[in-house]
Amino acid sequence: MLCCWEGFSPGKSRVPRIESLEAASVTPEQTAKLRDFRRSLPAGHGDVPDYDLLRFLRARKWDVSAALQQFEETLQWRQQHHIDDFRAKAPGPFEDVQDPQLFCDGMECFPQLRLVKPREDEGAWLYYGMTVTAGFDKEGRPIHLQQAGLASQRFAAMYSFAGKDPTYKIIYDGYVRAQESQAARMQESSARLGRRVTQQVVIMDFKGLSFWPDPRALAVFKDFLSVSQRYYPETLGIQFFLNTPPVFLAIWRLIKEWIDPVTASKMHLLGSDFQRELLEYIPADQLPVAYGGTNSWDVFNWPPDIDEFRRRYAQYAEAAERLPGRSQVYKPQDRKAKTTVLSISCGL
């Protein structure tokens, strides 16, 4: 089992697994700590790439013992929860895809359809979570975008929809699966650019945030942060909180107590005048029009009806199923979404 962001690599990467330390801006003293860390790795993990080990060292302020402990805990967590399965059972294909039915204005709309194992009734989960992983910033880092305010209004309904073990499904089948999809996108971006990409950009739009957020939602968000810090260290490049209402300031004071100060420094609270700042980091064609970009994909403007989300998402899933090189591990399973299939376009 490989560790962490390298995860399960179904295709042969065009980027070397072990890259020069000079490119990683590592000092001679830090290089010595990296060698000590590598010598201490558990048996069978000697091929973990330097950039993965460096993430743990940086997260633990170059304390080799602490980095080793976090690394071993991550291995145990991945094994206990079968995290590698998210990418091992992905249907692919794993090279760059340019199918116009799955793209909008040059941006792939739902890369998880290729890169991680399918999630049952994903159109419904999209309706509740209002989260997409699409587009790249100017450094090639994949973008994670959520309309968190609208999702907060639907959280109670989502919790009921999840059925048995709702928190586990939301955290693992939702958030962790998304992180594994982002890992795969980083690997593809690395191959495309010829240099290593190890971080992502997160955008959370709080427009419409419930005045009294569900306490269960805050607990789940705290779990998201915990999973990120413990098992995906140093993978956040920058995070933007948009349309932050006054009620969020109280939430923010709680959040800052849950996270490392270095991580907190990467988080930026913006009001409603955020477009110019986003465009400093993200090309316009990789950002929806509603956020100041030029991309016309309007997934967040789909009619607010769960069955409509199922129907529209099913169209993308069926288009992905027809991709050359597609694995047979996946067949569309969402019976509720079986409606007349229209041609796919950005606005659908």
What values do phi and psi take at 272, rounded to 5? Answer: -90, -10
Structure confidence at residue 257 (pLDDT):
87
Reported as a pLDDT band with limits 50, 70 and 90, residue 14 is very low
Question: Residue 7: pLDDT above 50?
Answer: no
- Cα-trace Rg, the chain: 20
Poorest-pLDDT segment among 166-170, 175-179, 210-214, 288-292: 210-214
15 pLDDT higher than 70: no
- For the segment 30-54, the average pLDDT, to the nearest whole number, is 94
287 to each of 114, 137, 193, 290, how far by Cα in Å? 21, 9, 20, 8
Residue with token string 């048995």: 164
Confidence of residue 20 (pLDDT cuts 50, 70, 90): low
Q: By percentage, how much of the chain surpasses pLDDT 90?
A: 76
pLDDT band at 48 (very low <50, low <70, confident <90, very high): very high
- Residue that the structure tokens 């993200």 belong to: 282
DSSP 249-274: HHHHHHHHHHS-HHHHHTEEE--S--
Q: Which amino acid is at 84?
A: D
Give the pLDDT score at 240.
97
Which pair of tokens denotes residue 283?
A: 């090309």
**pLDDT tens profile 188-237:** 999 999 999 999 999 999 999 887 778 899 899 999 999 999 999 999 99
> CA-CA distances (angstroms) from residue 110 to 29, 176, 194, 264, 317?
42, 16, 23, 29, 9
User: pTM, whole model, 2 decimals?
Assistant: 0.89
| 189-192, long-range: CB < 8 A, 24+ apart | 189/136, 189/140, 189/141, 189/142, 190/13, 190/15, 190/140, 191/13, 191/14, 191/15, 192/96, 192/140
Length of the chain: 348
Instruction: Determine whether 48 is exposed, middle or buried from the number of CB atoms within 10 Å of its CB (0-12, 13-18, 19+).
Output: buried
Orientation angle between helical segments 64-80 and 215-231, nearest 10 degrees? 120
pLDDT confidence of residue 348: 59
| Mean pLDDT calculated for residue range 159-186 | 96
pLDDT value of residue 338:
38
- pLDDT per position as a tens digit, 143-164: 999 999 999 999 999 999 999 9
Range list of β-strands (E), 74-127: 103-104, 107-108
